[in-house]
Structure 1
Amino acid sequence: MIEAIGLTKRYGDKLAVDDLSFTAEAGRVTGFLGPNGAGKSTTMRMMLGLDNPTSGTVTIDGHAYRELRDPLRTVGGMIDATWRHPGRTAREHLRWIAATNGLPDKRVDEVLRLVGLEPVARKRAGQFSLGMAQRLGIATALLGDPRVLLFDEPVNGLDPEGIVWIRKLMHALAAEGRTVFVSSHLLPEMAQTAQDLVVIGRGKLIYQGTMEDFVGRAKGLGVRVRSPHLPELRRALTEKGAEFREEDGALVVSEMDSDHIGELAFAAGATLHELKPLTGSLEQAYMQLTAEAVEYGTGQVPEVVG
């Protein structure tokens, strides 16, 4: 389990992480989301002892990283997949890390097979593509067979097959009872990978809980209604001042829940063939709930003419 309590980090006048508290449970894949500049990478660096917090604590299975006797056997992290000596082969890179942590060479060969790098194990890492470098970074994190795993943007550079592979790997690791904590900007992929979410903005916690609950917070999606008596239903909705639009032979009603729509249809004598609240997406919920926490906003998209 990962637990952060009042975690704060200042760089001079810059407050990168602001009194941040959350937990990531064992046996779950926890997604770590936030806009650019939100403090995600700084938080993950503090988890791994690469940065010291200004105040507060973050522990791995109840211990600060610096207190772990065998850190690689407890927590594996991939913060920067490009971190490797370009002149060393993939196998050499993993062997020296294994040797400094008392791990046998056979474990090196196991993780090379696991991440699909066995055919290029003797190729220099400096010649690797970004996707291959990502796989080597994941292999490094897995080397000590740790109980806790941290991945920062693990699918960058992976092809579709590789993305499906890392998703299945994370689910399998969590199913073994491990804690899997992953940061990514690819929201559609995160929606298929994470079970729980920690969302931050400007260094502060915005949300912690399940993926299902977070997506359910997306507002303004409406209720889809199909009826053989659409004229009567339109009239009843208009009299109530409800906003709606027509879509594929149905009505999508805004700002009115399904209970009220059903009662209104019954009173109007309109039979309903469908009455379905529209579910949101991770992207919709994320954009709504982080709108006030974006530090580096995008410019206006120019209009295409012609």
Structure 2
Amino acid sequence: MIEARGLTKRYGSTLAVDDLSFTVNAGRITGFLGPNGAGKSTTMRMMLGLDNPTSGQVRFDGRYYRDLEQPLHTVGALLEAGWRHPGRSARNHLRWIAASNGIPDSRVDEVLDVVGLTSVATKRAGGFSLGMLQRLGIASALLGDPQVLLFDEPVNGLDPEGIHWIRQLMHALAEQGRTVFVSSHLLSEMAQTAQDLVVIGKGKLIYQGTTEDFVERATEDRVRVRSPHLPVLREALERAGTVFTAIEDDSALDVSGMSSDQLGELAFTEGATLHELSPHRGSLEQAFMQLTGDSVEYAAHDPGTATAAANEAQAQS
């Protein structure tokens, strides 16, 4: 378990993290989300003692990181995959890290096998691709067989097979009762991976809870319906005061506030034949954009607006 309480970090007049508190439970994968500049990397660095907090504290299974005599046995972390000596082989890179925490060389070969780098174990890490460096960084995080794991953007540089592999690995680690805390900008991947979320914006906590609850709070379930008797359904929905919009060139309706069962019963009552009745929920991306919209540090202009402005300026010149 990870417990962060009142984490605050100031850089001069800039407040990067603002009285941030959250809990990461064991046996779960917790996603750490926020817009660019939200303070995610600063928070993770403070958790590991790489940056000193202005105030606040973090405990790992009840202990401060600085009090861990051999921290890799308790906390494994991947923050910067590119950190390595380019002249060392993958095995020797891991061997010196293992030696610093009393970890036997046999464990080095075990984690190299876990991350799929056994065949290149003797090759210099300086020639590794970004995806291979990600795997090497994950291997270093696993070295001490820790109960707590922190991953910052672990899928960067990985191909689809690698992304699938890291997703399975994180689920396996959580199923073993470990605490898995992962930061990522790939919301589609987090939707498939994270069971819980900690969402921040401008250094403040926006949400903590399950991924499912986060999506449900920010979006509403909708049902898509197609029917050759669409005008009949329109009138029935209007009488019921149900919100709907026409989609697919008016060949279907997107209905809010009514379940597929209710909509099917309504269609039956009205004698309307149905060709499609498809419930669909909002996405993690939709929920994230809605709940963090006021916390975006670096907002870009809409491409359509920018193009229109450019065309107008060109016409006037």
Give the aligned partner of residue 297 of structure 1. Answer: 299
Runs of 5+ unmatched residues, structure 2: 312-317
- Contact kept, 8 Å, 1:39 with 1:201, in 2: the verdict is yes
Return the alpha-carbon distance in structure 2 between the equivalents of residues 143 and 154 of structure 1. Answer: 16
- Contact kept, 8 Å, 1:78 with 1:152, in 2: the verdict is yes
Give the aligned partner of residue 108 of structure 2. Answer: 108
Other structure's SS at 1:216 match: helix
Equivalence map 1:73-152=2 (5 Å): 73-152=73-152
Q: CA RMSD in A?
A: 2.5
Return the alpha-carbon distance in structure 2 between the equivalents of residues 237 and 297 of structure 1. Answer: 38
Paired letter, 1:138: I
Structure with higher helix content: 2
Deviating more after overlay: 244-253 vs 143-152: 244-253
Other structure's SS at 1:96 match: helix
Q: TM-score scaled to structure 2, two decimals?
A: 0.88
Residues 198 and 270 of structure 1, relative CA distance in 2, 3 Å threshold: farther
Equivalence map 1:275-286=2 (5 Å): 277-286=279-288
Runs of 5+ unmatched residues, structure 1: none
Return the alpha-carbon distance in structure 2 between the equivalents of residues 105 and 13 of structure 1. Answer: 47
Residues 165 and 241 of structure 1, relative CA distance in 2, 3 Å threshold: closer
Give the aligned partner of residue 164 of structure 1. Answer: 164
Q: How many residues are treated as equivalent by the alignment?
A: 304
CA displacement at 1:277 relative to structure 2 = 4.7
Return the alpha-carbon distance in structure 2 between the equivalents of residues 265 and 152 of structure 1. Answer: 49
Return the alpha-carbon distance in structure 2 between the equivalents of residues 35 and 217 of structure 1. Answer: 19
Paired letter, 1:280: G
Q: Deviations over 1:228-275 (max 9, x none)?
A: 642222123345484421448532124x44499759947973557576
Q: TM-score scaled to structure 1, two decimals?
A: 0.91
What is the aligned-residue identity percentage?
70
Paired letter, 2:187: L
Give the aligned partner of residue 255 of structure 2. Answer: 253
Return the alpha-carbon distance in structure 2 between the equivalents of residues 171 and 258 of structure 1. Answer: 32
Give the aligned partner of residue 67 of structure 2. Answer: 67
Give the aligned partner of residue 315 of structure 2. Answer: none
CA displacement at 1:200 relative to structure 2 = 0.5
Return the alpha-carbon distance in structure 2 between the equivalents of residues 135 and 142 of structure 1. Answer: 11
Paired letter, 2:164: V
Other structure's SS at 1:102 match: coil
